[in-house]
Amino acid sequence: MRLLLALLVLAASQPWARAESHWCYETQAKAFNNCLAPAQWGGDCQKDHQSPINIVTTKAQLNKNLGPFSFSGYDEKQKWTVQNNGHSVMVLLGDKATIAGGGLASQYRAKQLHLHWSSVLDAGSEHSLNGDQFAMEMHIVHEKENKKEAQDPKDEFAVLAFLVEAGSKNDGFQPLVEALSAIPRPTMNTTMQESISLLDLLPEEEKLRHYFRYLGSLTTPGCEEKVIWTVFEEPIQLHKDQILAFSEKLYYDREQKLKMTDNIRPLQHRGQRLVFKSQAPGRLLALTLPALLVPTLTYLMAGFL
């Protein structure tokens, strides 16, 4: 009987292990046929509160508690470490930058940023607005600082999502674009040749007052449903050549046979979840304001629990 139980446990654990170790995007699954495409991802990936979603802007509910963010350390320039992790390009942010305000119930510390893209300029974002995709999407991933003991926290991570469209050249992004040539293959790392700040990558601060908010998940396995999503309405502009550099210079595989592109998870069903939009009059909060503003997580979660 013990042997039978052990075998059953082993059999049940294999799909999870495969999803975590060998998951991939649709373009990889078609090329290699040796990894699990998004429809087969394990973990929490088949649950009901997943990301990304299509945001219908006219249906988003106004929430007056969703005011301006307070960005601390976002103006500090550094030569960031950049890596090809086999699924995206990731910038390691250390632990110096934080966000507060924006209807968040706590302060969150920035850990990393990464991007999703396509060689097709209207098919590279994970989230969409009114059914329209963008050329790319950048995620700045933050982790909650004041964690309270809870079996199933819905707000462990706060991800700031920025849509990217083709436009004029973005000098702030250029050090990251230039670093791509040094990390074509998975597990490769490099350091930017020029110091930049997080604010150098973002739209003007005044334009960050307008955003959408919903509760969802990570967009890669195990797709844990522990994310407060903020999707900003104002897109980042990059030149077409800057956008295409991501598809041209990076590869999914060590042999450099498959270019890294279309690294996006398909849209997920919104279901009964509520999507909110901000109302943030006036200028953004100064960087030195206290971290905590009016907690609204309970209000935001009311439609889910």
CA distance 293 to 131: 33
Distance CA 155, CA 120 (A): 33
CA distance 2 to 13: 17
Q: Tally DSSP H helices, then E strands, for the chain.
A: 5, 15
Is 87 catalytic? The answer is yes
Count of C-beta atoms within a 10 Å radius of residue 267: 16
Angstrom distance (rounded) from CA 79 to CA 138 = 19
Residue 161's beta-bridge partner residues? 139, 231
Closest CA to 104 of 55, 58, 159, 50: 159
Q: For the CA atoms of 129, 246, 241, 82, what is the dihedral angle to 10 degrees?
A: 110
- What span, in angstroms and rounded, lies between the C-alpha atoms of 300 and 305? 10
Q: Are 61 and 275 in contact (CB under 8 A)?
A: yes
Q: How far is it, in rounded angstroms, from Cα 264 to Cα 25?
A: 7
CA–CA gap between residue 192 and residue 173 (Å, rounded): 11
Helices (H), 54-204: 174-179
Q: Which of 22, 49, 87, 114 is catalytic?
A: 87
Q: In whole angstroms, give the CA distance from residue 160 to residue 140.
A: 5
- Is the bond preceding residue 52 a cis peptide, omega within 30 degrees? yes
* 250 neighbors 84 (Cβ within 8 angstroms): yes
Catalytic residue list: 87
